[in-house]
């Protein structure tokens, strides 16, 4: 069976979140999801094994190879028939939810609005969500719990955004990265690369970032980088799926705990996502493994809080307030605004 639009993702210890995340992305129009995991100790692998048996995902455990966990996983995924035969690919993470604002809010609508048959790569900007002052790890949908988002650029938000890319599956890439495909030099001009809505790809910086306008009125990726304070402790214990040497502390929290604006636009999918989620949980194996996975996370949390380092981190982040924009992105914005003002002055200077 050929699937036209396929997701590739990596996971580690994501048991409480898998069913909602899979349901959401199937609802918006992806046909299949390929998941590769590494060193899971909760019920992530059991949940994915069952979803694989039911036909919703293709699951493979992954072992770290040359280039790290992520590159190894992508290379392994590219050898699978479901990936090789796909028309479109999208690499994303389990804390990211694609949220489409145009047309009927589907992946097809995003493609149509961004160039249709004439576009090859669509790089969609992140929108970061804070912990919403939620401390407790709860067994309820992430997209319902967390609605406090960083401001849009027009409202004073960050002067650049990370992107994730939806791209045609062509034989022109020397590597598929976490944020975008890397095109072989000889094919550098063969692709049409756009932001949502068809904005020119020249606005992409160093491949991973976009500068304004981002096209966020057409689509965004809701990035729940920290979730709740308790969930963040478990994320620190687990380590980052794609950057395992990074230790998560208050620095990471302070950078990605961004808020200030209520954003519930993703709730347009809530009824359909909940219906599919209910269907998943009607399966006795999935229901049991989901409950067991959530209990594992609560038990591990209790264990971690006996450690002084985790208890201290928990106290600090639980008392923190979200920020609207971090200094680095504020500096970028101010620098860009200064250049724009200078150009406006030059443009307004009368000719001699």
**C-alpha dist (Å) from residue 265 to 102, 208, 237:** 12, 25, 31
Q: Are 90 and 24 in contact (CB under 8 A)?
A: no
Q: Are 125 and 172 in contact (CB under 8 A)?
A: no
Q: Is 84 within the bounds of a domain?
A: yes
- Which pLDDT score, from 0 to 100, does residue 240 have? 56
- Which pLDDT score, from 0 to 100, does residue 330 have? 62
Q: Are 196 and 218 in contact (CB under 8 A)?
A: yes
Q: Is 17 within the bounds of a domain?
A: yes
Give me the tens of pLDDT residue by residue for the chain, a chain 352 residues long. Answer: 678 999 999 999 999 999 999 999 999 999 999 999 999 999 999 999 999 999 999 999 998 767 678 889 999 999 999 999 999 999 999 999 999 999 999 999 999 999 999 999 999 999 999 999 999 999 999 999 999 999 999 898 998 999 999 999 999 998 999 999 988 888 777 889 999 999 877 656 556 889 888 999 999 999 999 999 999 999 999 985 555 556 789 999 999 999 999 999 999 999 999 999 999 999 999 999 999 999 999 999 999 999 999 999 999 999 999 999 876 676 666 665 544 444 443 344 343 3
Q: How is the chain split among helix, strand and coil, in percent rounded to 5?
A: 40, 20, 40
Q: Is 44 within the bounds of a domain?
A: yes
- Which pLDDT score, from 0 to 100, does residue 159 have? 86
Tokens (6 digits) for 153: 């650029």
Residue 347 has a CB neighbour count (10 Å cut-off) of 7
Specify the 3-state DSSP secondary structure of 99: strand
Q: Is 215 within the bounds of a domain?
A: yes
Q: Is 101 within the bounds of a domain?
A: yes
Cα–Cα dist 226/274, whole Å: 23
- Which pLDDT score, from 0 to 100, does residue 335 have? 62
Write phi, then psi, for 108 (nearest 5 degrees).
Answer: -60, -40
Residue given tokens 């790569």 in the structure block: 121
- Which pLDDT score, from 0 to 100, does residue 340 have? 45
Q: Is 46 within the bounds of a domain?
A: yes
Exposure on the CB side of residue 276, measured as CA atoms within 13 A? 18
Residue 170 has a CB neighbour count (10 Å cut-off) of 15
Tokens (6 digits) for 291: 């409950």
Closest CA to 62 of 48, 50, 53, 96: 48
> What's the number of domains the chain is made of?
1
Give, in degrees to the nearest 5, the angle at Cα 300 between 295 and 303. 130
What is the span of the domain harbouring residue 190? 5-347
- Which pLDDT score, from 0 to 100, does residue 9 have? 98
Q: Is 352 within the bounds of a domain?
A: no
Q: Is 172 within the bounds of a domain?
A: yes
């Amino acid at each position: 069976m050929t699937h036209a639009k396929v997701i590739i993702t990596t996971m580690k210890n994501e048991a409480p979140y898998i069913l909602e995340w899979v349901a959401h992305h199937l609802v918006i129009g992806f046909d299949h999801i390929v998941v590769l995991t590494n060193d899971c100790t909760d019920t992530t692998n059991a949940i994915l094994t069952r979803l694989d048996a039911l036909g919703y995902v293709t699951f493979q455990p992954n072992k770290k190879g040359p280039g790290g966990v992520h590159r190894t996983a992508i290379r392994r995924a590219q050898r699978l028939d479901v990936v090789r035969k796909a028309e479109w690919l999208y690499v994303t993470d389990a804390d990211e939810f694609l949220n489409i604002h145009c047309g009927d809010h589907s992946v097809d609508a995003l493609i149509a609005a961004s160039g249709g048959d004439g576009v090859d790569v669509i790089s969609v900007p992140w929108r970061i969500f804070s912990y919403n002052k939620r401390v407790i790890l709860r067994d309820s949908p992430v997209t319902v719990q967390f609605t406090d988002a960083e401001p849009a650029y027009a409202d004073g938000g960050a002067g650049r955004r990370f992107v994730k890319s939806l791209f045609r599956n062509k034989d022109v890439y020397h590597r598929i990265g976490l944020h975008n495909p890397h095109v072989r030099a000889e094919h550098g001009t063969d692709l049409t690369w756009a932001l949502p809505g068809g904005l020119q790809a020249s606005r992409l910086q160093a491949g991973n970032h976009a500068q304004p306008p981002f096209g966020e009125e057409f689509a965004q990726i809701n990035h729940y980088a920290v979730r709740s304070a308790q969930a963040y402790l478990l994320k620190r214990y687990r380590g980052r799926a794609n950057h395992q040497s990074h230790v998560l502390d208050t620095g990471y929290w302070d950078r990605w705990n961004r808020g200030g604006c209520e954003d519930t636009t993703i709730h347009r999918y809530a009824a359909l996502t909940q219906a599919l989620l209910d269907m998943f949980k009607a399966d006795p194996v999935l229901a049991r493994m989901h409950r067991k996975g959530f209990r594992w996370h609560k038990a591990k949390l209790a264990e971690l809080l006996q450690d002084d380092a985790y208890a201290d981190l928990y106290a600090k982040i639980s008392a923190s307030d979200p920020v609207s924009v971090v200094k680095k992105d504020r500096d970028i914005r101010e620098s860009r605004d200064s250049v724009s003002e200078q150009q406006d002055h030059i443009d307004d200077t009368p000719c001699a």
